[in-house]
Chain A
Amino acid sequence: MSTNWLAAVSFQQGQDILHAINILSIHRKLRLRGITDEERNEKANEAKDYLTNFLRSFGSLVREVQKGKQHPVTGVNPRMNRLAHEFVSSIRKTKHFRQLSSISIQEIISLMDSENEEDQRLSIKCLSELRLLIEQHMYTDANQILGKF
């Protein structure tokens, strides 16, 4: 009875988040360039809704983790708990996560909703940093279920 189920669930969630970020990011960048990219319109809206939901629950988990080791994080699966810890520790190292370290998750959600071009550009930068973090996290899950070469 192995615990790979946790890695499998986390792997799938990571895949879904990354796919949503990629769709939304490409769509927004093309639109900012003046390309309508209508084919991706519906998927981009779905991706935005998906990411908004994810960021809402992830944001409250991050706030729990930020309380420090004196408070247990409860009701959360260990892989998601790990991701929140990675997020908190990564944004302290501002080199690769400059945007995420200067903005709250709630603000990212608002930026994603905004029609303002500057906000959209900033939201894309934030999502791109988040993507880097989730790619690293998912790499561990993929190695656990698929093995290393």
Chain B
Amino acid sequence: MREILKQQNLDLLRELKILKEWISNADIAEEMHVYHKAVSDMCDHLLARICRNLDDLDSDADEIIDDVRSETQNVMILFNLLNERLIGPIRRFLPSDRICLKILGWLHNTHPQTKSLPLAINDGSFAVWPMNIPIYFMPPSRQQGLLLLPLFFHEFGHVLYCAHQQELDNLIRDFQNGITELLTPKSIRDDLWTDKETEKRNRIVEIWYNWMVEIFCDAVGYTIGGPSFLNGFSMYFRLRGSWEFHMPEEELWKSEHPISVLRMRLLTERARNQGCPTEAGLVQKDWDKIANVLGVKEDHYGFLNQEFYEPIQRTVDDMLVETSPHKFSGEEISEKERNPTSSTPVHLLNKAWSVFSKDPQNYPNWERRAIKDLLSSK
């Protein structure tokens, strides 16, 4: 075993040196410097662990071999993460990555807990890996336009969640305990059927953990981006098919996100109460039209009832107070022309939606100019 482990660590050492060379020769934009340093530090950390493994293998203590085996395995997995996911944004850096990096950099700077966090952008479905080095994913062509960039604000919600996990878990616990009470019948029989029903209820309560995280992230998205988030969210989901409006019961048991029509309703309710009733009305109308055409009838199969709405919104409000994300201002959603030196990306994204809504044909020309301005601003 000792020889196998030595061989594996020496192979890792050789591979790691290749990555280190790429990192030191990388030609990247200023927006990537913090990330570049974080990845470089991670290489040094792994290098130190590999050298430690090799030293331990040189000792004659047989009793630590299984520990070194585990340590080698972990370094290998971390190395794979580095090689397969973290190095890509550096090695394949494109000048156009700067659009997303500028917006995400601004976003991280708005919050004390994410200010110093490195970040990177990668190709993929909308997602974030909120690890020590958060990576945001977005489909490639969407990275080049402005309309769906507000969806990053939802992903940023996951990063905020991790930064405040203990407090937010407690709030979700209170919510889950509340819906347990709402779901529990007033009188309970003492038989096998009742046990099965209780298990089913408990499973529903546990599923709501993930759903509440997603609903919180949607609320973070709206709080930061205002109508731009509402519109981006709606455009992304509204024509993906009938499952966004109705999901078979067996799928709901497996679903890690609440059904989109519910997310949309909660968002429009939030928007209606928080400064954007017109936009909320328009988006809701679109969804009603599509639901009508699809002929879907809403059924949540006991996963949701009317009494849930108030505790959902109350809990999410508390979670927003706890995490305190940037709140869009009147100016950021105004029709006022954007000032490239002082305006925020939120203003730009709302402006983009305003232009697109009025004149989708000529929007691409406006967008090209707006992106040029964004990239030339400090």
Contacts and interface: CB of A to CB of B under 8 A. Distances in A.
B64 A8 contact: no
Contact of B64 (A9, A26, A71, A77): A26
A142 interface: yes
A133 interface: no
Given A4-B127, A22-B74, A33-B61, A72 B80 contact: no
B180 interface: yes
Given A2-B125, A9-B162, A26 B67 contact: yes
A9 B130 CA distance: 6
Interface stretch (B2-10, B170-178, B281-289, B294-302): B170-178
A104 interface: no
Contacts of A142: 77, 80
B164 interface: no
A70 B195 contact: yes
A19 B74 contact: yes
Contact of A29 (B63, B85, B137, B176): B63
A2 B209 CA distance: 16
B94 interface: no
Contacts of A55: none
B96 to A, nearest CB: 23
Per DSSP, are chain B's interface residues mostly helix, strand or loop, or mixed?
A: helix
A42 B81 CA distance: 27
Q: Which of B66, B68, B70, B203 neighbours the largest number of chain A CB atoms within 10 Å of its CB? A: B70
B78 A15 contact: yes
B209 A76 contact: yes
Nearest to B172: A75
B81 A74 contact: no
Contacts of B213: 77
Interface string B181-213: 000000000000001001101110110011001
| Interface residues on chain A, size class | 35 or more
Contacts of B198: 69-70
A5 B81 CA distance: 14
Q: Which of A2, A26, A74, A145 neighbours the largest number of chain B CB atoms within 10 Å of its CB? A: A74
Interface of A: 1-6, 8-9, 11-12, 15, 18-19, 21-22, 25-26, 29-30, 33, 35, 69-78, 81, 128, 131, 135, 138, 142, 145-146
25 contacts: A4-B127, A8-B131, A15-B74, A15-B77, A18-B70, A19-B74, A25-B64, A30-B61, A69-B202, A70-B202, A73-B206, A74-B177, A75-B170, A75-B173, A76-B169, A76-B173, A76-B209, A77-B213, A78-B210, A78-B256, A128-B66, A145-B85, A145-B129, A146-B77, A146-B81
Interface of B: 56, 59, 61, 63-64, 66-68, 70-71, 73-74, 77-78, 80-81, 84-85, 125-132, 137, 151, 154-155, 158, 162, 169-170, 172-174, 176-177, 180, 195, 198-199, 201-203, 205-206, 209-210, 213-214, 256-257
